[in-house]
Amino acid sequence: MEDIPAPQVEPGTLLVRVKFSSISAGTEMSGLESASQPLWKRALKNPQAVKSTLEMAAARGLTHTRNVIQGKLSEGNPTGYSASGVVLEVGHGIDNIHPGDRVACAGAQCAHHAEIIRVPRNLAVPLPKDLSLPVASTVTLGAIALQGVRRAQPTLGETFAVIGLGILGQLTAQMLRANGCRVIGADLDFSRIELAKSLGMDFPLPSEENNEHILRLTDGVGVDGVIITAASPSDEIISNAFKMCRKKGRVVAVGCVGLNLKREDIFPKELDFFISTSYGPGRYDPQYEEEGLDYPIGYVRWTENRNMAEYLNLISKGKIDVEPLIHSSFEISQAATAYDTLKKDKEKPMIVLLSYPESNEDAKPNRVIPNPSARALESDKINIALAGAGGFVKGMHIPNLQALSRHYQIHAVSSRTGSNASNTAKQVGAQYCTTDYQEILNDPKVNAILIGTRHNQHASMVLEALQAGKHVLVEKPLALTRDELESIRSFYETHQQAPVLLTGFNRRFSPFAQRAKELIGNRTNPIIINYRMNAGYIALDHWIQTEEGGGRNLGEACHIYDLFTFFTDSKVVSVQSRSLAPKTGHYSSRDNFVATVGFEDGSVATLTYTALGSNKFPKEQMEIYSDGKVLSLDDYKQLQVHGTNAKGVTSKLIDKGHKRELEAFAATLGKGGDWPIPLWQQLQATEIALNVEDQLTL
């Protein structure tokens, strides 16, 4: 148990004060068991992760790789995925749930064992008036069981077998009975069979291998279908399920079992085999779960939200009895005891609930938590706050800030997720963590803010920080729209003594770019730059490709437009771009294009950006043609110089200038003087990206 800052409500979400949450004896306990395994055991089960780690070490070095791994290992992940409570706040866009309503919530990404949770609308359902909060907290388990039944498509009078009479099996058996089916239940634990019988199951099957008994119960025909709710790596469970079926029967896998199928088990009877995906249609679809896009009921009758609501309705009408399945309830302060109860070898409980203390409903959630292990502050250092603590901030910026501890001390951590804010603050020794960006804006001890949130939040957060008098280092892009960019430009036009702004165009700070700039510094003619970015494929539904990310031109190619500006030190006079017209929907025109930029000094720079290439080929290559010289950059590991005796730069590891960027920022804040990147150049790189984007979307 930890104290973490409460989340803030967001558009399309609810803030819920939890009254009860349900601990699953199956899924949740197996997840905890897996997480407690030694790292080497987890590595053996995930060779792809090992391969990625080795590739990172080869490209970035052992120190960087170790920092990334240690950061991940030190994180604590919130548990739980089924809860009930009372709505505190309602986000913009929700008009059918109100503060004070009682709701049940689902989702491993949000319905945690916590006093206050933030839940997307499609993962919350209002409670029937007569339904108790403890029973409603099982909503996720009920939706999972209900979806398994729906996949089986039972009809009145059919006979079904349920293999595994844990909580999902118990609920499944009752749902099948409510659907007018005869139910045969199998489990190795006789007490679970007896419990299922008391709740209406028709026939017990002491062992799932007793197929002769199945034939006796079904007049020698076999069952119409089998729903597997057991959890075991054995392949025999599914094999026996097929053997139980009549010809043309069906088997649905709800539980996690071995799936090495035998042709002879399926082929002679022409059986159907179905997988049931968790709570129902919508699960694992971010547009449905996170963005609130519902599926039309005329085309998708039962979504995960409608499954949740119907499960609660079945309980309310007395079709399902959940009370006998709830073993006990523990206060959240006794969480350790609750989990120990589920670890018993004999008579394992079906469901154990956690309850939460009564509180003043008018009390404001606490969104700032001090760090008891904070490092002592030193007056001669820059107090920097982290706004956003995602993978890139933790993997790149935090190690570099720690390596530059002679300049920086991380004063505070702000993140939209309380557990992430808390974990990161402890990792870096910050004074406090928060889920409220305003807290660090209002903190007089904060000198600078490093913004590393999703791209669509950058411009507004930058402007707020500047208005609060904070220096800002914002990860690229600076802005996603012209209006956003103009608001930042306007701020500096009306504020003479304004804070320093540095957009994270780190590549110009790399030793390769710095050396290239030296070598063309005394040129007498314009230059030609050819830059090729073999960017690699990113799925079109990834957040970078959506409105949150703005697409890869605005989100990544802006780096290269900054390099063009850096090398020419000249204003832009023309931008032309041409995109690919893919023949299939796998690729997008927005990350396969060529952009050509003309500058006042006569220089011409071309970027070829593509997701079509192989990841076996270097990601970034560049040639600069200048006054008889050719400078050739190979993936930020080597800069070769042709046409002169001047030396280039070689490195064993990729160095894109992230650390030097922070050093330059610290130097400006400490000594004053010129900005690391002049404001006009930061604005111009973003303007180029916006001009290219306009042409890509024509």
Q: What pLDDT, on a 0 to 100 scale, did the predictor assign at position 27?
A: 67
Q: What pLDDT, on a 0 to 100 scale, did the predictor assign at position 50?
A: 82
What are 326's strand-pairing partners? Answer: 351
Q: What is the mean pLDDT of residues 244-268?
A: 95
Q: What is the mean pLDDT of residues 262-285?
A: 94
Per DSSP, the residues of 511-528 read HHHHHHHHHTTT-SS--E
Average pLDDT of the chain, as a whole number: 93
Q: Which two tokens stand for residue 266?
A: 């399926």
- Is residue 428 classed exposed, middle or buried when 0-12, 13-18 and 19+ CB atoms within 10 A define those classes? buried
Q: Let me know the angle formed at the C-alpha of 297 by 292 and 298, rounded to the nearest 5 degrees.
A: 140
Helix (H, G, I), strand (E, B) or coil at 75: coil
> pLDDT band for position 71 (50/70/90)?
low
Using DSSP bridges, classify how beta strands 604-610 and 13-24 pair: parallel, antiparallel or unpaired: unpaired
Q: What pLDDT, on a 0 to 100 scale, did the predictor assign at position 295?
A: 96
Q: Quick one: which H or E segment has residue 626?
A: strand 620-626
Q: Which of 517, 475, 536 is nearest to 633 (CA)?
A: 517
pLDDT above 80 for 154: yes
Q: Over pLDDT 70: what percentage of the chain?
A: 96
Asked: is 13-138+287-355 a CATH 3.30.70.260 domain? The reply is no
Q: What pLDDT, on a 0 to 100 scale, did the predictor assign at position 358?
A: 86
The whole model's pTM is what?
0.89
Q: Of 37-46, 468-477, 633-642, where does mean pLDDT reach its minimum?
A: 37-46
pLDDT (tens digit per residue) in 389-400: 998 999 899 999
pLDDT (tens digit per residue) in 99-123: 999 999 999 999 999 999 999 999 9
Q: What pLDDT, on a 0 to 100 scale, did the predictor assign at position 208?
A: 58
Spell out the residues 6+ positions from residue 41 whose beta carbon is closer than 8 angstroms to its own: none
pLDDT (tens digit per residue) in 478-492: 999 999 999 999 999
User: What strands lie across the sheet with 159-163, from one edge to the other?
Assistant: 203-205, 182-186, 159-163, 223-228, 245-253, 272-275
The domain defined by 368-502 folds into Rossmann fold (3.40.50)
pLDDT above 80 for 41: no
pLDDT above 80 for 379: yes
Using DSSP bridges, classify how beta strands 102-106 and 124-126 pair: parallel, antiparallel or unpaired: antiparallel
Please identify which residue in the block is written with the tokens 């388990």: 141
pLDDT above 70 for 646: yes
Question: Are the beta carbons of 352 and 342 closer than 8 angstroms?
Answer: yes
- Is residue 207 classed exposed, middle or buried when 0-12, 13-18 and 19+ CB atoms within 10 A define those classes? exposed
> pLDDT band for position 35 (50/70/90)?
low
pLDDT (tens digit per residue) in 19-29: 999 997 766 76
Question: Are the beta carbons of 523 and 630 closer than 8 angstroms?
Answer: no
Superfamily of domain 141-276: NAD(P)-binding Rossmann-like Domain (3.40.50.720)
Q: Is 13-138+287-355's fold the same as 141-276's?
A: no
pLDDT above 70 for 191: yes
CA–CA dist 266, 289 (Å, integer): 35
Domain edges within the chain: 13-138+287-355, 141-276, 368-502, 507-696
Q: What is the mean pLDDT of residues 143-147?
A: 97
pLDDT (tens digit per residue) in 381-432: 999 999 999 989 998 999 999 999 999 999 999 999 999 999 999 999 999 9
Helix (H, G, I), strand (E, B) or coil at 414: strand
Amino acid at 575: V
CA–CA dist 325, 394 (Å, integer): 43
Q: What pLDDT, on a 0 to 100 scale, did the predictor assign at position 364?
A: 86
- Is residue 636 classed exposed, middle or buried when 0-12, 13-18 and 19+ CB atoms within 10 A define those classes? buried
pLDDT above 70 for 345: no
Q: Detail the DSSP E strand segments found in 25-163.
A: 82-90, 102-106, 116-120, 124-126, 159-163
pLDDT (tens digit per residue) in 192-242: 999 999 999 999 987 656 788 999 999 999 999 999 999 899 999 999 999
The domain defined by 507-696 folds into Dihydrodipicolinate Reductase; domain 2 (3.30.360)
Using DSSP bridges, classify how beta strands 501-503 and 528-534 pair: parallel, antiparallel or unpaired: unpaired
Tell me if the bond preceding 204 is cis, omega within 30° of 0: no
Dmax over CA atoms of the chain, in Å, equals 96
